[in-house]
Amino acid sequence: MATSTRLKTCLYSFTSPGAPMYPTRAVRHAAWDALDMLYPVGRYPRHIISLFFRLLYPWYWPSSFWNFIKSCILTVFYSLLRLIFSSWDKVRSRPMEQ
């Protein structure tokens, strides 16, 4: 149990920006993904609490908003690409009718 708690504490320390470790954005997201995968119980409360504390620091708002918009645009773009290519494969796999 102590090892599990230590691992959770270590991963959680990588999820927050700033001192003492100053992890990059990619490291923070990888730590969140690892926490969500290893400890699925409490996933949503962890994210809600993190969001609440993030809202306490207004200087993070512009970068958070920009990253959210960027991820939404990329998600829509990749969904459209997947739709286009899946429909193209369906058209190519259909036999020619004469």
Q: Are residues 23 and 70 in the same domain?
A: no
pLDDT score, position 22: 83
Q: Are residues 51 and 11 in the same domain?
A: yes
pLDDT score, position 78: 95
Q: What is the pLDDT of residues 19-65, one digit of tens each?
A: 767 888 889 999 999 999 999 998 999 988 888 888 888 887 888 88
**Total-model pTM:** 0.61
Q: Are residues 64 and 46 in the same domain?
A: no
- Write b or e for each residue in 68-82: b if 16 or more Cβ atoms lie within 10 A of its Cβ, otherwise e: eeeeeeeeeeeeeee
What is the pLDDT averaged over residues 12-18?
A: 83
| DSSP state for residue 95 in the 8-state scheme | P
Range of the domain at 21: 1-56
Q: What is the pLDDT of residues 75-98, one digit of tens each?
A: 999 999 999 888 877 777 766 665
Q: Are residues 63 and 51 in the same domain?
A: no
pLDDT score, position 96: 62
* Nearby residues of 64 by Cβ (< 8 Å), 6 or more positions away: 54
**Which residue is it, tokens 């036999």?**
95
